[in-house]
Amino acid sequence: MPGICEGRVAIVTGAGNGLGRAYALGLAAEGAKVVVNDLGVGTHGETGATRGAAEQVVDEIRARGGEAVANTDDVTDWDAGKRIVDCAIDSFGALHAVVNNAGFVRDRMFVSCTPEEWDAVLRVHLRGHFCTSRHAVDYWRGQQKAGRPVDARIINTTSGAGLQGSVGQSAYSTAKGGIATLTLVQAAELARYGITANALAPNARTRMTQTAFAEEMNRHEDGFDIYAPENTAPLVAWLVSAQSADVSGQVFELKGGIISLSQGWTDSPKVDKKARWTADELGPVVRRLLGEREPAKPVYGAA
């Protein structure tokens, strides 16, 4: 029986390890042809730390009867983003999905964060989500203008850190929050071209989470590996498939067998004076609103 991604072509960035590797293998198992992109950097962006990782994943896919090619371009480089897209088209004749997964962390309390660390984290996550997707959108718009049907996907990677904040990860949280918002804008703007955009906030064991949350990330429940990266792969496959064409602008949160949709920022109860407030009036009003709204999820690591 063919998989749900039969005939689809997908790029997965940062696919040499962890979640990206699980996505690439899962997509191939569902029949997709996969461009396995990985620059080979370490958890903190160290060059050459995992050289050959993309090729190893490609070998695994081919050994299981799937089709894949390796790509080692840098997702933060504008011209490289086009090469990644061209790699899919040249290798498989089409492109249907970009799964933006590449990233690293430089964990640091805000008072200790350096400009270099801040810029590096925002670059790999925000610019990294921009370059490949932007070139993919150019390709899909061209297809649509030529009268060819487009059923395309952008799948971004945010994080609980981006949705609610995480102590010691100010740059990472900022970048991931930006990605969640980017997803909403992409979904609104790109629907006219046959492109959907969704984001994942996976709670899984990776090189990044293993560094900060090793004890929790190795926890099992009744023999079920809650934090295995493979738990997220089926959702990625479904989002890449034609079955998800009517789903866009969503942020999916996953942990083990639990899947939910993030509600995002929503309006709270209001007070309308129907005139300008004075400063000394606002204290009681603000406290009333704080008491009436739904409580926010706490920042990770907050006391």
Strands 220-221 and 224-225: antiparallel
Q: Quick one: what percent of the chain has pLDDT higher than 90?
A: 80
Helix (H, G, I), strand (E, B) or coil at 262: coil
291 burial (CB, 10 Å; 0-12 / 13-18 / 19+) is exposed
Strands 258-261 and 152-157: unpaired
Higher-confidence residue: 15 or 268?
A: 15
Is residue 303 pLDDT above 60, yes or no? yes
> What are the tokens at 100?
């933006």
Which residues are identified as catalytic?
159, 172, 176
Q: Report pLDDT for 45.
A: 46
Q: Report pLDDT for 212.
A: 52
Higher-confidence residue: 210 or 176?
A: 176
CB-CB contact of 7 with 241 (8 Å): no
Superfamily of domain 9-261: NAD(P)-binding Rossmann-like Domain (3.40.50.720)
Residue with structure tokens 């920042």?
299
Is residue 270 pLDDT above 60, yes or no? yes
Q: Report pLDDT for 41.
A: 62
Is residue 24 pLDDT above 90, yes or no? yes
Q: Side by side, which strands form the sheet with 33-37?
A: 67-71, 33-37, 9-12, 97-99, 152-157, 195-202, 251-255, 258-261
Task: Indicate the range of 32-36, 96-100, 182-186, 214-218 predicted with least confidence.
Answer: 214-218
Domain ranges (residues) in the chain? 9-261
* Alpha helices (runs of H) in the chain, residue ranges in sequence order: 18-29, 53-63, 78-92, 115-122, 128-145, 160-164, 170-190, 207-212, 214-217, 233-240, 282-292
User: What is the rounded average pLDDT for all residues in the chain?
Assistant: 92
Quick one: average pLDDT of 213-224?
63
Q: Report pLDDT for 206.
A: 65
Quick one: average pLDDT of 278-296?
94
Q: What is the pLDDT of residues 83-94, one digit of tens each?
A: 999 999 999 999
Q: What is the pLDDT of residues 234-249, one digit of tens each?
A: 999 999 999 999 999 9
Terminal CA-to-CA distance of the chain, rounded, Å? Answer: 51
Phi/psi at 97 (nearest 5 deg)? -155, 145
Task: Indicate the range of 56-70, 181-195, 288-302 predicted with least confidence.
Answer: 288-302
Q: Report pLDDT for 202.
A: 95
CA diameter of the chain = 71
Is residue 215 pLDDT above 80, yes or no? no
CB-CB contact of 71 with 35 (8 Å): yes
Task: Indicate the range of 38-47, 61-70, 94-103 predicted with least confidence.
Answer: 38-47
Is residue 58 pLDDT above 80, yes or no? yes
> What are the tokens at 145?
């203008």
